[in-house]
Structure 1
């Protein structure tokens, strides 16, 4: 008779995501995972196939939730520029609330595992394309509503803001002055102005 799982798989994925996010892939050992997740090695391998697969699934969990969060934050803005201000303000809030200053899991993973891990690189490219699509569609909405000049190319601006957002996530790990970060945001999103 097969044994039933004594743990919530989704909860384990969230814990694994937090651990990988904090320590990185290479610095997280199987023993770290067993200790943090509260499951034994056999269960880890039986359920998740090992460290690599667990990492990919935890990373996918992060991607899903962060993509949804980006859409929601942008939608909170009364204008496109206000939506991007909200997105960056949230990033600042997260940096301030996280005493470990661990930054963005996607940015950290990119820096740690690319080049060299083609499976993760493929996932990161998918993630980038997804966020670029969200940004580009949102900017196009601003053009359609007369908030942004029709001379602007939404795809080019999306790439610039995506690049800026990722760099901003790195800077927010070391810069603790909120005013400086807010000023940096205003400079970055000024690309939306006429």
Structure 2
């Protein structure tokens, strides 16, 4: 008779996600994962497969959480420009308990040149954010709140690029006023 799992799969996946987010893929050892997840090595392999498979699952979980947070942050906001601003401010004002930066950006920088699956997973999440921004831009342009000087596609691509860059900057820039200035300047494209 097969033994039932003695751990919550979602809980240990979140633990793995946080370990990878903090340390990156290459610097995370199997021992780090086993210790941090609180499960036996065999259980980890049986449940998640190898380290790479676990990383991709953790990255997908991060992307899902990130998407839910972004959508939750703007839910009920009637102003498209205000909703876009909230997306940027969420990047600046992250919880101090979380690792700095964005696991998706970290993955793109660390692995995209030699790991097509990790690159595709990160890129899909970036594209989803861009689609959300484009939807907001279209709504704002239709209501006259956002300038039509640029196409929704162009604005969304530029804003998403700036948002990704901001996710990099929050790892090293401590000056919140400087980050806010960057956001204000970037969002000037909407006027």
TM-score by length of 2: 0.94
Does residue 155 of the first structure (1) align with residue 148 of the second (2)? no
Deviation (angstroms), 1:101: 5.3
Are 2:21 and 2:99, in contact at CA under 8 Å, matched by a contact in 1? no
Are 2:134 and 2:155, in contact at CA under 8 Å, matched by a contact in 1? yes
Deviation (angstroms), 1:74: 3.1
Are 2:74 and 2:83, in contact at CA under 8 Å, matched by a contact in 1? yes
Query: Which whole-Å deviations, capped at 9, do the CAs of 1:75-129 have from their partners, x for residues lacking one?
Result: 35442221122122221111xx426752011001100001110111221222222
Question: Where does 1:137-156 land on structure 2 (aligned, <5 Å)?
Answer: 137-156=135-154
Query: Which whole-Å deviations, capped at 9, do the CAs of 1:149-170 have from their partners, x for residues lacking one?
Result: 3342011111101110011111
**C-alpha distance in structure 2 between counterparts of 1:101 and 1:12, whole Å:** 17
Does residue 83 of the first structure (1) align with residue 90 of the second (2)? no
Are 1:77 and 1:86, in contact at CA under 8 Å, matched by a contact in 2? no
Deviation (angstroms), 1:135: 0.9
**C-alpha distance in structure 2 between counterparts of 1:115 and 1:128, whole Å:** 17
Query: Which whole-Å deviations, capped at 9, do the CAs of 1:18-54 have from their partners, x for residues lacking one?
Result: 0000000000000000000010010000000021111
* Greater CA drift, 23-32 or 81-90: 81-90
**C-alpha distance in structure 2 between counterparts of 1:114 and 1:146, whole Å:** 39
Which secondary structure state, in structure 1, belongs to the residue aligned with residue 170 of structure 2? Answer: helix
1:125 match: 123
Are 1:76 and 1:86, in contact at CA under 8 Å, matched by a contact in 2? no
Q: CA RMSD in A?
A: 1.5
Which secondary structure state, in structure 2, belongs to the residue aligned with residue 173 of structure 1? Answer: coil
Are 2:107 and 2:119, in contact at CA under 8 Å, matched by a contact in 1? no
Q: Which runs of 5+ in 2 are unaligned?
A: none
Does residue 188 of the first structure (1) align with residue 157 of the second (2)? no
**C-alpha distance in structure 1 between counterparts of 2:189 and 2:133, whole Å:** 13
Q: Which runs of 5+ in 1 are unaligned?
A: none
Deviation (angstroms), 1:73: 2.3
Which secondary structure state, in structure 2, belongs to the residue aligned with residue 28 of structure 1? Answer: coil
**C-alpha distance in structure 1 between counterparts of 2:92 and 2:76, whole Å:** 16
TM-score by length of 1: 0.93
Q: Which one of 172, 175, 185 corresponds to residue 173 of structure 2? A: 175
